[in-house]
């Protein structure tokens, strides 16, 4: 039997083994769909607020009552991004925030008219930092308009500063974050069935019987790797189809693929190799099925946490952003975001692909040195 025929039969054997374990196959495909579905819905409010300009509720108190103070009060109340409410009777600022009556308290003191006292603002401590910055910037602009007698500060500034950012490219939408993110997560999660299957065959003597035939160990390795690599590619394609054609109708947010969507092909080919390499490494290092499942599952979850999959990279503190680079999922996810958000040329994505290729190569190399077939 030629090497080509041996490889074909080994792939066929591996596929049949996988198909018998229907629960695992269903998990590999249904798990990322469920994660994309529920987490995109959960994150919809946060992203929709940022894109549509959710109103920030605040208590506005005007102690000054001077003409300029009244004008500032009018500008604040009429702004579409602000919802003013009355202070609940007998409730101080801490109580307002504790019972979530408002997200900020703005106080215009006596002395505002002559510039001796500034406008005071107090935020709910748990209010998102982005909203704090946005509200502070808005109130600063309105105050400057009143104090300097400018009708529309934004119009004046626009003659000096023009924002050229493309629409929907400031940050990833829930779909741009979760579809590639949890597709990557599922691709790495394949290490669980891959390693368990390998150890099970060692334990029940299947591998020993295979080596009674004149077959090269490299052919056996390819026969085991190729089916899982193909599953990873199919996983990603199906997740993208779900993200493009199904999820926008559920979440109500379109999925922008960017101007160079064909870059998905080389990126996915390399990401699939990296995730398969991780599975091979776990299979080679583990000594029992229980150990392999724990190592694969724990490793996958930790890489997802550090890599900006479970916690979006854009909201991570600076320290976590540095640590994220240790995770191959970070490089994979950022490569996809380069395509979706930055319209990056392939040469720009190339460094990330090199990192993933080195990771895959290292996994295959270490596994090849450590694997014990019999």
β strands within the chain, DSSP E = 56-62, 82-85, 104-108, 120-123
Percent of the chain clearing pLDDT 70 (strictly above)? 90
The DSSP symbol for 87 reads P
- The pLDDT value recorded for residue 180 is 93
CB 261 within 8 A of CB 50: no
Per-residue pLDDT band at 263 (split at 50, 70, 90): very high
Same domain, 149 and 287: no
Select from 134, 158, 182 the last residue of a domain.
158
Least confident of 128-132, 163-167, 235-239: 163-167
CA-CA-CA-CA torsion for 273, 239, 264, 281, nearest 10 degrees? -10
Whole-angstrom distance, CA of residue 79 vs CA of residue 145: 13
Query: Is it the case that residue 52 has pLDDT exceeding 50?
Result: no
- The residues with which 86 forms a beta bridge, in sequence order, are none
Q: What is the CATH number of the domain that holds 154?
A: 3.40.190
Place of tokens 């020993």: 208
Arithmetic mean of pLDDT, 306-323? 86
β strands within 125-258, DSSP E = none
Query: Is it the case that residue 57 has pLDDT exceeding 80?
Result: yes
CB 79 within 8 A of CB 142: yes
Nearest to 239 by CA among 190, 278, 181: 181
Same domain, 114 and 239: no
Whole-angstrom distance, CA of residue 74 vs CA of residue 45: 29
Select from 158, 186, 217 the last residue of a domain.
158
Same domain, 301 and 321: yes
Same domain, 133 and 91: yes
Nearest to 36 by CA among 313, 330, 236: 236
Select from 102, 134, 158 the last residue of a domain.
158
Q: Total domain count for the chain?
A: 2
Predicted TM-score of the model (pTM)? 0.71
Least confident of 73-82, 285-294, 299-308: 285-294
Is residue 187 in a domain? yes
Per-residue pLDDT band at 315 (split at 50, 70, 90): confident
CB 201 within 8 A of CB 207: yes
Is residue 163 in a domain? no
In the chain the first and final C-alpha atoms are separated, in Å, by: 22
CB 324 within 8 A of CB 308: yes
Whole-angstrom distance, CA of residue 373 vs CA of residue 306: 33
DSSP, collapsed to helix, strand or coil, labels residue 53 as: coil
Mean pLDDT of the chain: 85
Same domain, 37 and 57: no
Per-residue pLDDT band at 158 (split at 50, 70, 90): low
Same domain, 198 and 265: yes
Is residue 123 in a domain? yes
Same domain, 212 and 357: yes
Same domain, 122 and 260: no
Same domain, 217 and 104: no
Instruction: Convert the pLDDT of each residue in 16-30 to its tens digit.
Output: 777 777 777 787 788
Between 79 and 2, residue with greater pLDDT: 79
Is residue 285 in a domain? yes
Same domain, 243 and 342: yes
Same domain, 257 and 294: yes
Is residue 130 in a domain? yes
Same domain, 85 and 117: yes
Per-residue pLDDT band at 155 (split at 50, 70, 90): low
**Domain carrying residue 152:** 53-158
Per-residue pLDDT band at 184 (split at 50, 70, 90): very high
Whole-angstrom distance, CA of residue 316 vs CA of residue 304: 13
Between 358 and 41, residue with greater pLDDT: 358
Within 8 A by CB and 6+ apart from 178, the residues are: 35, 36, 39, 40, 43, 243
Is residue 203 in a domain? yes
CB 58 within 8 A of CB 104: yes
- The pLDDT value recorded for residue 62 is 94
Q: Token pair of 93, please?
A: 């600022």
Within 8 A by CB and 6+ apart from 22, the residues are: none
CA-CA-CA-CA torsion for 230, 234, 237, 238, nearest 10 degrees? -170
Is residue 164 in a domain? no
- The pLDDT value recorded for residue 3 is 72
């Amino acid at each position: 039997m030629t090497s080509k025929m041996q490889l074909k039969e080994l792939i066929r054997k591996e596929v049949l083994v996988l198909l018998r374990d229907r629960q695992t196959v269903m998990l590999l495909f249904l798990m990322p769909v469920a994660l994309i579905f529920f987490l995109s819905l959960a994150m919809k409010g946060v992203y929709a607020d940022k894109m549509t300009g959710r109103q920030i509720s605040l208590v506005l108190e005007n102690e000054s009552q001077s003409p300029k103070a009244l004008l500032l009060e009018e500008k604040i109340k009429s702004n579409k991004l602000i919802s003013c409410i009355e202070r609940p009777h007998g409730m101080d600022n801490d109580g307002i925030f504790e019972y979530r009556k408002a997200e900020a308290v703005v106080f215009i003191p006596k002395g505002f008219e002559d510039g001796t006292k500034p406008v005071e603002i107090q935020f709910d401590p748990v209010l998102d930092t982005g909203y704090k910055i946005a509200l502070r910037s808005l109130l600063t602009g309105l105050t400057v308009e009143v104090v300097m007698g400018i009708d529309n500060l934004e119009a004046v500034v626009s003659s000096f500063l023009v924002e050229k950012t493309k629409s929907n490219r400031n940050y990833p939408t829930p779909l741009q974050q979760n579809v590639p993110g949890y597709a990557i997560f599922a691709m790495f999660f394949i290490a669980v069935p891959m390693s368990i299957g390998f150890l099970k065959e060692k334990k029940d003597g299947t591998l020993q019987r295979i080596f009674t035939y004149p077959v090269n160990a490299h052919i056996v390795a390819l026969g085991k790797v190729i089916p899982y690599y193909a599953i990873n590619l199919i996983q990603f394609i199906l997740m993208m189809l779900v993200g493009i054609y199904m999820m926008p109708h559920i979440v109500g947010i379109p999925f922008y693929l960017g101007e160079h969507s064909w870059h998905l092909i080389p990126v996915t080919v390399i990401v699939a190799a990296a995730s398969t390499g991780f599975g091979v490494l776990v299979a080679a290092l583990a000594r029992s099925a229980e150990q392999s499942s724990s190592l694969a599952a724990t490793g996958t979850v930790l890489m997802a946490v550090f890599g900006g999959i479970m916690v979006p990279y854009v909201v991570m503190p600076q320290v976590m952003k540095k640590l994220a680079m240790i995770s191959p999922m970070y490089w994979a996810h950022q490569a996809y975001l380069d395509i979706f958000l930055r319209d990056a040329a392939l040469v720009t994505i190339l460094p990330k692909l090199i990192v993933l290729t080195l990771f895959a190569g290292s996994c295959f190399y270490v596994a090849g040195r450590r694997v014990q077939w019999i």
